[in-house]
Structure 1
Amino acid sequence: MGSRPGAHNVTTMPSQAEYPVFVPRTGATPDGVPLSVNRAPAADLEPWISRVMVAIADAPTDVASIGYLCNDAGYIRTAIDAHWTTYTAEGALHWRNQSFLCGQHSVAMKLTSRGPIKVSGIMLKPGAMRVLWGINDGALLDKIRPLGTTGTDDHALTGLYENGITPEEWLERIEDWLRSEIAARGAPKPERIAQQLEAAAFADPNMSPGDFCEREGIAPRRMQRICKRDFGLSPKQVLRRARTLDLAARMCGVADKDEEQEFLLRYFDQSHQIRDFTALFGRSPQQFMNNRQPLLTLSLEIRQARRLELLNRIAPDAIRPWMREPFRPLAA
């Protein structure tokens, strides 16, 4: 696969002054973009959960931020204090002091917020949504549902946040809530084959679906059905999305610089890169860089941290390659 002409024309990062006025409380990139405290879940929750996170950044109540969500995993998200609007496949959804079940994305979803960032999230493994609440990931593709629609008490999760709680205390309360939810519903462990495809996409998104099926000893038609159920996409689309999200993370400054050339060489040429990138984000790589989004950066950082840990490229407690300094969570 040849090198991509003009690959280094999209590396310029915006200055901190170009971002909304946030004061990060749970970590930041070297140029000041807020990050989250995010880690692997407690060991007993790992069959269902990939990651737990809390992001807190102070800002005036009238500060508006426009960004995007683009995730390759389902999430349970809780937003406190700020007003959020997401533009889903079913239209605009407004939320504040509420928890939501968020589907995966086939395209980036516009997101606006007003006020400080105070968000927690539970990243679900493929298939976990189905065993917990009877909802296939594919049915929630590009959609968001209030947590209450699953028969779960929203306040039981949203109400876990209290003024003065630390991020880690908030995460531990969330994990306790999830243990109770799993036990109450008698949720079995999700099927692992979709998780194996996810891991393969992290390691080599240029792998062909046929090679993956041969390696795992699964019939291609069965893999197609599982993917539609647990991702909402075909295996080829899952791999292509992973490749594009890696590139977007690099552009946002939350990827390991040692992988930069590898990310670029995954594309045959510049037109190949632009085509894939535009299909997911609705804009070219250069347009993306000209208006890099802090909210998307925060989301991509969580994915890259998990990816590098899963591939054993960094230790769970390591300072990540893009971090300004170790996390020093303050009281929320």
Structure 2
Amino acid sequence: MLLSRTYRPSPDLAPYVRRFYVFEAELPDELVIKDFLLSETAFIRVLIKGDWAGEIAPQVWSQPGRSLFFGANGLPFKVRVRGSFCVAGAALRPSGWRALFHASHQDYADRLLRLDEVWHTPTSHLEAAMDEADDDTGKITALEQALRVRLDRIGRRKVDDKLARFEVIARTDPTRRIEDIAEELGLSMRQFARRCQAGFGLTPKAILRRSRFLDMATAMRGFSSPTEQDLAALRYYDQSHLGREFRRFTGMTPSVFAHAMTPLQTAGLKLREESKYED
């Protein structure tokens, strides 16, 4: 059974971290789960135990280290888990990206890297603290301390307030016109696209398209109860359009997805819905 627990960040880290989480499962050693992720944000993940790998090329699986960085996904990112595992991590806010990274998020979208490759600093202290932690509190404390050290190292704690507003819009109202959102934010279309690519890793259109799909997938998995008006807004133009979106974001048709076993992706949808309307 897969257990997932999420935690809000401390107030000083809330501008940069959306949620902390711990995923774990006790599974037979020989059991292999292949699934996919479709993450709206970049993630830091520390593998506490287990065999967890990502597909970095067709049929090429990589577990580059224990402390990992996953860029946000514009396409499904295939992952494989073998046997029991435990992972602790942090979902990072696009609006706080520049406080934690030198490069644009666009350089890391749909990629799996060692965290020390991205931050150019060792992660041994983080991993040692994780190993010493007896419970979730200790694991989250270790992640928070590593993030505070990183913030101090970069020394640029200002967040992008316009992207923070767009985070909420994308999460709660993804059917809006991009032009209307840019006008509301006081940005030109070019400025809007550039800032989204820097913080989210994707264009505004791709962000809203992914969010709309995730809302539909969440409803199909039974984690939300949209009104008829909400469903009408989410529905695609026709069955062909719906099929194209599902193949893009899952690699499956809608009917196959409806019956597919996707425990890791499904856990992510559940956590997304539970925190959807939180600031």
> What TM-score does the superposition give when structure 1 sets the normalisation length?
0.77
Gaps of 5+ in 2: none
Q: Residue 308 of structure 1 aligns to a residue in which SS?
A: coil
One-letter amino acid matched to 2:159: P
Q: What fraction of aligned residue pairs are identical, expressed as a percent?
A: 28
Equivalence for 2:83 = 115
One-letter amino acid matched to 2:71: G
Distance 1:264 1:166, change over 3 A: farther
Q: Residue 160 of structure 1 aligns to a residue in which SS?
A: helix
- The Cα of 1:115 is off from its aligned counterpart by 1.5
* Rounded Cα–Cα distance in structure 2 between residues aligned with 1:97 and 1:241: 28
> Aligned match of 2:74 in 106, 113, 116?
106
Q: Bigger shift: 234-243 or 174-183?
A: 174-183
Contact 1:36 1:56 (8 Å CA) reproduced: yes
Write out per-residue CA displacement over residues 256-297 of structure 1, whole angstroms, 9 at most, x where no aligned residue: 224576245422333332222222212111111221300111
* Rounded Cα–Cα distance in structure 1 between residues aligned with 2:228 and 2:45: 31
* Rounded Cα–Cα distance in structure 2 between residues aligned with 1:160 and 1:206: 43
Query: How many residues are treated as equivalent by the alignment?
Result: 277
1:83 partnered with 2:51: yes
* Rounded Cα–Cα distance in structure 1 between residues aligned with 2:106 and 2:65: 27
Q: Residue 55 of structure 1 aligns to a residue in which SS?
A: strand
1:44 partnered with 2:12: yes
Q: 4+ residue runs of structure 1 moved beyond 6 angstroms? A: none
Write out per-residue CA displacement over residues 149-208 of structure 1, whole angstroms, 9 at most, x where no aligned residue: 122222222222237712233112321222222123323223122222221011211000
Q: Residue 159 of structure 2 aligns to a residue in which SS?
A: coil
Equivalence for 1:162 = 131
One-letter amino acid matched to 1:83: D
Q: Residue 184 of structure 2 aligns to a residue in which SS?
A: helix
Q: Residue 176 of structure 2 aligns to a residue in which SS?
A: coil
Distance 1:159 1:97, change over 3 A: farther
* Rounded Cα–Cα distance in structure 2 between residues aligned with 1:280 and 1:306: 21
1:206 partnered with 2:175: yes
> Aligned match of 2:276 in 293, 304, 307?
307
* Rounded Cα–Cα distance in structure 2 between residues aligned with 1:110 and 1:196: 30
Distance 1:217 1:72, change over 3 A: same
1:222 partnered with 2:191: yes
Contact 2:74 2:109 (8 Å CA) reproduced: yes
One-letter amino acid matched to 1:231: F
Q: Bigger shift: 52-61 or 156-165?
A: 156-165
Contact 1:106 1:233 (8 Å CA) reproduced: yes
* Rounded Cα–Cα distance in structure 2 between residues aligned with 1:135 and 1:102: 14
- The Cα of 1:252 is off from its aligned counterpart by 2.8
* Rounded Cα–Cα distance in structure 2 between residues aligned with 1:142 and 1:90: 14
Correspondence list, 1:46-85, <5 A: 46-85=14-53
* Rounded Cα–Cα distance in structure 2 between residues aligned with 1:164 and 1:153: 19
* Rounded Cα–Cα distance in structure 2 between residues aligned with 1:62 and 1:296: 21
* Rounded Cα–Cα distance in structure 2 between residues aligned with 1:292 and 1:90: 21
Contact 1:88 1:143 (8 Å CA) reproduced: yes
Equivalence for 1:138 = 106
- The Cα of 1:56 is off from its aligned counterpart by 1.7
The higher-RCO structure (CA 8 Å, 6+ apart) is 1
Equivalence for 1:273 = 242
Write out per-residue CA displacement over residues 41-95 of structure 1, whole angstroms, 9 at most, x where no aligned residue: 1111011111111112212222211111110100101112211221136983522
One-letter amino acid matched to 1:294: P
| More strand, by proportion | 2
Distance 1:77 1:264, change over 3 A: farther
One-letter amino acid matched to 1:180: V
* Rounded Cα–Cα distance in structure 2 between residues aligned with 1:66 and 1:260: 34
Write out per-residue CA displacement over residues 1-37 of structure 1, whole angstroms, 9 at most, x where no aligned residue: xxxxxxxxxxxxxxxxxxxxx3xxxxxxxxxxx2411
> Aligned match of 2:213 in 234, 239, 244?
244
Equivalence for 2:115 = 147
1:92 partnered with 2:57: no
- The Cα of 1:214 is off from its aligned counterpart by 1.5
Aligned-residue CA RMSD (Å)? 2.2
Write out per-residue CA displacement over residues 77-116 of structure 1, whole angstroms, 9 at most, x where no aligned residue: 1112211221136983522760111101111011111121
